[in-house]
A and B are shown apart, each in its own frame.
Chain A
């Protein structure tokens, strides 16, 4: 079972990627649209390269970021209910984006929204490190994260409350639902460096997360520096999830559900769960982003909404199963 997982995910990802590229309102046959990606075919090539390719790439990047960050957070906190939003970075990145929409910066300047969202994420990280300190327990980290999320949520509500007109308010609400619609290669290039740094940082944590299975004391005696683990985790999660939120909005449940589903397939080892969850998160977001195009092609169903509708019952099912196992 443990060996089948890389194979299954390895086969699934290219399939989903191809499907994501091939499916769209243009209604062109699969073969022709995929060929247009590499061969010049007028308008179709433009659609493929400027609309569908960035969308599929962003689905992979965002999904991998959320899955990996979820696995890292759960491993560090030794809690299967932990998720990437817990340190408050998604909340503060969303606040940055909301401010960009509210002030009109997003409309005036294409990159205004993602850049302000990244700035929000950076402020969130600075705040959490200030509040929780570089040393200290994982509990202070969670509490600081909850406080920052609450504060960011409050200011987001304030922005909605004071929105200049109903259109701005609805734009904010729709953005917060999370979507990969209408993104360009610029979004890919702006998010990729941050995500790559975040992935690299989180992937170094494998050994430390394994050691943390035995608790913080035993992990430290096994030669792990908990201070360094914590800083690496906070910066890694913040870079990847901040960038993901900046380009896609708030997409929940991926970071929570994917590690949970994949854990039994990797023998529950936190180190092996990291890469598996990155691949699993990419597959899930790709699949969901295809689904929003197929289910209600004309209604602009938001990715984050679909994810929550599918993710929440799935999560309830998992909790129900866990409850039976624990009892």
Chain B
């Protein structure tokens, strides 16, 4: 089942296309990593696909009404904003807004989301007084509480400790096993290679590669797009991807 279908998506900033004719599809049960250097257009692609930026081309999500869209996809922006000192529980409950009127399922969804992110003991804490990494997990719990078939997350693991980075990527994989899908932008190519079923590589607004990690993280792509050299191995520990050095 297609959860997202983007055709020839173009996003303009002034006269300059920051996303230029990109087409991607997401089926159920996928964890798709969106990778590319700074300014490649990862965030603009996701915001354009959501329809919260004016776009050229089409996106199946942008075509929905705002309320239907909010039930089809949950969006975790890169900026981790928590404007008011609300409790963790109130903050996570915001994810239930698209499912109003409030029902008995809301509390259960919030509890599931908190449990999934190991935040049950944080329920009554004030969100703004948590550490940056804890806030990131609370915001991710909000996204989960929305219980949508698709999640778009912009660098959700940046700033997390290693165990929680892995836990987050494992959680995305578990969601995929349940038939849901995640599109995750990340600069951590190693974790993306290990946990994503597919990688989409962008460069200067254009789609460069789209396929399994081994076919996208090639020596040539890494050299030309990222300007780096890395080691990619599939051994007894699964995929191991290690950055080595910058190349001219």
Q: Which residues of A pack against B, CB within 8 Å?
A: 78, 207, 210-215, 217-218, 220-225, 263-264, 267-270
Contact = CB atoms under 8 A, between A and B. Distances in A.
Contacts of B83: 78, 212-215
B6 to A, nearest CB: 16
A214 B139 contact: yes
Contacts of A225: 66
Nearest to B79: A215
A214 B52 contact: no
A267 B70 contact: no
Given A217-B52, A223-B66, 4 more contacts: A220-B52, A222-B94, A224-B66, A268-B84
Given A214-B94, A222-B98, A269 B84 contact: yes
B239 interface: no
A214 B97 CA distance: 12
26 contacts: A78-B84, A211-B94, A213-B81, A213-B84, A213-B86, A213-B94, A217-B52, A217-B75, A217-B77, A218-B75, A218-B76, A221-B70, A221-B75, A221-B77, A222-B70, A222-B94, A222-B97, A223-B66, A223-B69, A223-B97, A225-B66, A267-B87, A267-B90, A268-B86, A268-B90, A269-B90
Nearest to A228: B66
A222 B96 CA distance: 9
Nearest to B76: A218
B200 interface: no
B84 A214 contact: no
Nearest to A78: B83
A221 B61 CA distance: 11
Nearest to B86: A268
Interface of B: 47, 50, 52, 66-67, 69-70, 73-77, 79, 81-87, 90-91, 94-95, 97-98, 100, 139, 142, 146
Contacts of A217: 47, 52, 75, 77, 79
B60 to A, nearest CB: 15
A214 B70 CA distance: 14
Contacts of A212: 83
Contacts of B47: 217
Contact of B86 (A207, A215, A224, A267): A267
Contacts of B95: 222
A221 B86 contact: no
Contacts of A218: 75-77, 81
B94 A215 contact: no
A78 B79 CA distance: 14
A78 B95 CA distance: 18
A215 B81 contact: yes
B98 to A, nearest CB: 5
Contacts of B91: 213-214
A131 B216 CA distance: 48
Contacts of B94: 210-211, 213-214, 222
B3 to A, nearest CB: 15
Contact of B81 (A207, A214, A223): A214
A218 B83 CA distance: 12
Given A214-B139, A220-B52, A263 B66 contact: no
A194 B74 CA distance: 38
